[in-house]
Amino acid sequence: MLHYSTFLLLTFSIFSSQTLSTSLSTNFTSPIGINYGQVANNLPPPASVLPLLHSLSVTRVKLYDTDPRVLSAFANTGIEFIVGLPDQLVPRLARDPSAASSWVRSSILPHLPATKITAITVGNEVLTGNDTTLIRSLVPAMVSVQSALTALGLDGKIMVTTAHSLAVLETSFPPSGGAFRKELVPYLSQLLTFLQNTGSPFLINAYPYFAYKADPKSVSLNYVLFEPNSGVVDSSSGLRYDNMLHAQVDAVRTAIRKVTPSNAKVEIRVSETGWPSKGDNDEAGATPENAQRYNGNLLRIISQNKGTPAAPGEPLQVYVFALFNENLKPGPSSERHYGLFQPDGTPAYNLGTVSGSGLGTTGGKGNSGNVRSGGTAESPAAQIGLVSSTGYYSTSGSKILMPFCLEKLGVLAAVLLLGWYSF
């Protein structure tokens, strides 16, 4: 049996060598993040996860809690964390600001500054749930957390926000017609005022997979997978959309503009997106091939730091779900197969190039255990740039040599170490 301290030493060695290879190859930093869900009973220890993240060039991680094991394991690594405050705490923090102060002091403060916590999500998909007390408590709880951070001088370092299901929209297509559900507008208006005043982003969980699964005969697979297609023109704005994710984001953008002042500026970030590599018989499209194409093409497009058709100058920040397949997630089989990796560290599917037109290195979907509500958006899809099988990244006409082969070896080494450790 490999001693755990030796395991950690070898893991650190792998990480250090990969860090050197990355710095020697133009200091590439991924603009994409990943959701680290833990609704499972067979995941590896957090300390062994770092090489897997580095192999993907991921520098941003989103948690659904403030697990001290994870936050401590990633101290002094430079990885940026979004951490979560659970739904069940929201009403209490809304009623009692001192409870928010206690939570920040016990759950956040002990990890600073060694662990780079950049944002706190208060609850998850609260507004599309059925708990009216929770819905009414959301913004007051966010205000309480913000006040607690301000009292500690952390308000300029840690943002406060919350993530939403695409089901907050009443209309999602065309993007120029995006509108929030009428019954949610009072809460969203209050929330958006808070976000604008604090400079925090609006987080949306967007899954083109749900739209395809609901109507595979009408929704173009190429459109949802970012593959070449004829695209869809928004008849009102005249903008052409060649992938569904961008259409969904711009529908949210339109909805926000309808309930905020004309000079309001609120950044939109995709806090979850992904594609399952396996599903039940009635879950169309849930295959390893489609997961590879979706996530590979997504990484390629996001890496170009471009925005959506309605906001081309605003690079879109995306967090893919999930790092691992999570065997205890409830719901259909697909819920347990959004991960890039199996719990033993082996890839859930081929993470190489995607049929010559993408780099397959991310995947997922997630929640703290709940099955997500799907949003809708319609029609055809895109291809921008290329990642060749040589490991060269083509961006705006220039080539960047990525440490592709070395990082794949790093993943292999990490997998071997995980195997030795579990043995």
Per-residue pLDDT reduced to its tens digit, 283-301: 999 999 999 999 999 988 8
The pLDDT, as a whole number, for residue 31 is: 65
- Tokens 């849930």 appear where? 286
Question: pLDDT digits over 154-182, tens only?
Answer: 999 999 999 999 999 999 999 999 999 99
Cα→Cα distances 28→110, 282, 400, 406, Å: 30, 40, 8, 14
- Identified catalytic residue from 125, 283, 335, 407: 125
Q: Cα separation of 350 and 337, whole Å?
A: 14
Cα→Cα distances 139→101, 123, 143, 187, 209, Å: 16, 10, 6, 8, 30
The pLDDT, as a whole number, for residue 302 is: 85
Sign for the CA dihedral angle at 413, 418, 421, 423 comes to negative
Burial class (CB in 10 A: 0-12, 13-18, 19+), 121: buried
167-172: which pairs have CB atoms within 8 A and are 24 or more residues apart? 167/128, 167/373, 167/374, 167/375, 168/127, 168/128, 168/255, 169/251, 169/252, 169/255, 169/375, 171/251, 171/255, 172/247, 172/248, 172/251, 172/375, 172/376, 172/377
The pLDDT, as a whole number, for residue 333 is: 96
Low-confidence residues of the chain: pLDDT under 50 = 1-29, 353-409, 411-413, 415-417, 420-423
The pLDDT, as a whole number, for residue 351 is: 64
Between vectors from CA 17 to CA 391 and to CA 322, what angle results, nearest 5°?
A: 65
Cα→Cα distances 92→99, 125, 126, 259, 282, Å: 7, 18, 15, 28, 40
What residues have CB less than 8 Å from 393, skipping those under 6 apart? 28, 303, 359, 387, 399, 400, 401, 402
Give the CA diameter of the chain.
65
- Tokens 């939109």 appear where? 268
Take residue 197 and report the two structure tokens written for it.
């005043």
In DSSP notation, 321-360 reads E-SB--TT--SSGGGG---SB-TTS-BSS--SBSTTS-B-
Q: Are 168 and 250 in contact (CB under 8 A)?
A: no
Which residues, in sequence order, are bridge partners of residue 147? none
| pTM score of the predicted model | 0.79
Q: Cα separation of 360 and 354, whole Å?
A: 6
272 is catalytic: yes
The pLDDT, as a whole number, for residue 51 is: 92
170 is catalytic: no
| CA-wise closest residue to 383 among 226, 223, 225 | 226
Q: Cα separation of 359 and 320, whole Å?
A: 14
The pLDDT, as a whole number, for residue 263 is: 85
**3-state SS assignment for residue 165:** strand
Burial class (CB in 10 A: 0-12, 13-18, 19+), 409: middle
Take residue 186 and report the two structure tokens written for it.
């009072």
- Tokens 């347990």 appear where? 336
The pLDDT, as a whole number, for residue 93 is: 98
- Identified catalytic residue from 227, 272, 326, 335: 272
- Angle of the 185-198 helix axis to the 132-151 helix axis, nearest 10: 10
